[in-house]
Amino acid sequence: MSFVSPLFLWYFMPAVLLAVLLCPRTWRNGIVAIGSLLFYATGAGAFTLLLLTCMVVNFLAGPVLEPDEWGMRPVRRRRWTLVGVIAFDLSILVIWKYAGFATEQIAAFTQLLGGDFPVVELALPIGISFFTFHHISYVVDIYRGERRALRNPVAFGTYIAMFPQLAAGPIVRYREIADQLPQLRSHRLDDIAAGFPRFALGLCKKAIIADSLAPMVDACFSTPSDEMTFGIAWLGAVAYTLQLFFDFSGYSDMAVGLGRMLGFRLPENFARPYASVTITEFWRRWHMSLSRWFRDYVYIPLGGNRGGARKTYRNLCIVFVLTGFWHGAAWTFLVWGAYHGALLIIERAFGWDRTPSATGPRIARRLLTLVLVIFGWVFFKSADLGSALTMLGHMFLPDFEGLTDLVDASLTNQRLVILLAALSMFALPAHPVTGPLLESSRSLPATALRVTVMTVGLAYAAILVATGTFSPFLYYQF
């Protein structure tokens, strides 16, 4: 079930919200947990059993991992329990997400030697990367003593399976939401009043902008290498840069808005990333929940920046190779992660990670950062490395060959208008961030934006959804 499907918008979401509002407050976690599992089952089917198995293992491990105040619980047993649970979580992720890729590489190598090796083909469970990271956050935060283990399976199910963030984030670290999980929490109508405009903003981003750009992006990236031109390459790269942002940030806005309507405060995931002046700043603004997760559970445990420049660069390299591979089992994602890791290392090595104070250099650095990010998205989107290198090569070689008939047909007047409107975001200032402004501010500009989104934007988005002109969220595949 997708957030932009009629089934969700007109039946599931209203039913869950009404149940949460009308039933006793002590029922709310149960309503959210059961509704979330039903939400997941409609799309994942039998994979719901895999999710439930992971939930049972991590829930049972929680009390064992918890340090006691007298220090009587053996540290060694706690440590090995943690290692075992994390190994279990990662093995599930590795088997279902990376077994096919690994066997493809072995089969290719074996074929060179004249042999044969079977390739494993497994369907990817929806949201497996996200619920795996939630489980790891849960057990690590308990082991560190930052939060207590949950004894109530309903509260645990609410955290792990909560439908706003289950399929594509944001990644909610356990310590960020533990204090919100007790059942006797207040739930007010003003939560819905604050959360619904945020949800509507995300729906507009997805249905009006991202889905309108999708046919254009697909036409450009599917262009054969012998027909690729300078114009097609740049059009595809820039359009995808915009599509990915509006698609993923739209999902995040919808998730945060849904969470708020249910009485939860989920973490922000985007803060105008294309306004970044450095790549370092970009990663403080893009998919922020993923960056924080890798910082807390990988980068800092590896030593962070405490061991000198060489170890810092090593840690950055490890984190961003893992970041790339977390997105998908393909060489393109691995190269994309390594590319960003290399850019971060270069910035730190030469002191370019600081924002220039003068206006001219700051604008120049912002343009350079944007171009570097666009180059990276070519790897992220391309089907293979050859296609990515072909497109990048044409981006560096101007020509006057124009567009193919297929690309030209995808560039309708309506899509061209939306593309030009979306391009304006490249010139927007870094602050304020639209989502939080829309949700909490009572200023005149925020009110005007809220009214526009809730009337014109929501009506148009609803028409698009009703006519079936929507596509799955891009991050569902991760």
Inter-helix orientation angle 28-44/153-161, to 10°: 50
- Give the tokens for residue 247: 């698609």
Report CA torsion sign: 340, 346, 348, 352: negative
CA–CA separation, 427 vs 424, rounded Å?
6
Check: CB of residue 142 under 8 Å from CB of residue 62.
yes
Q: How far apart are CA 226 and CA 228, in angstroms?
A: 6
The residue ranges of DSSP E strands in 334-448, in sequence order, are none
The long-range contacts involving 113-122, CB below 8 angstroms and separated by at least 24 positions, are: 122/95, 122/96
CA 470, CA 421: separation in Å to the nearest integer?
Answer: 19
Quote the DSSP letter at residue 274. Answer: G
Report whether 133 contacts 168 (CB < 8 A): no
Backbone angles phi, psi at 30, to 5 degrees: -65, -40
User: Dihedral sign, CA of 94, 95, 100, 106?
Assistant: positive
The angle subtended at Cα 402 by Cα 400 and Cα 406, nearest 5°, is 160
- Nearest CA to 19 among 8, 5, 32? 32
What is the rounded radius of gyration, in angstroms, for the C-alpha atoms of the chain?
A: 23
179: tokens are 């204090």
DSSP letter (8 states) at residue 150: P
Q: Provide the token pair at 58.
A: 């991590």
Angle (CA) 198 33 471, round 5°: 50
Checking 48-54 for CB contacts under 8 A at 24+ apart, the result is 50/92, 50/96, 50/125, 50/128, 51/125, 51/131, 51/160, 51/161, 54/88, 54/89, 54/92, 54/131, 54/132, 54/135
Place of tokens 């409609």: 42
239, 379 Cβ separation under 8 angstroms: no
Half-sphere exposure of 355 (CA within 13 A, CB side): 11
Q: Which of 135, 287, 327, 340 is catalytic?
A: 327
The CB density around residue 160, as the number of other CB atoms within 10 Å, is 23
Q: Is 327 assigned a catalytic role?
A: yes
What is d(CA 229, CA 235) in angstroms, rounded to the nearest whole number?
A: 10
| Catalytic positions | 327
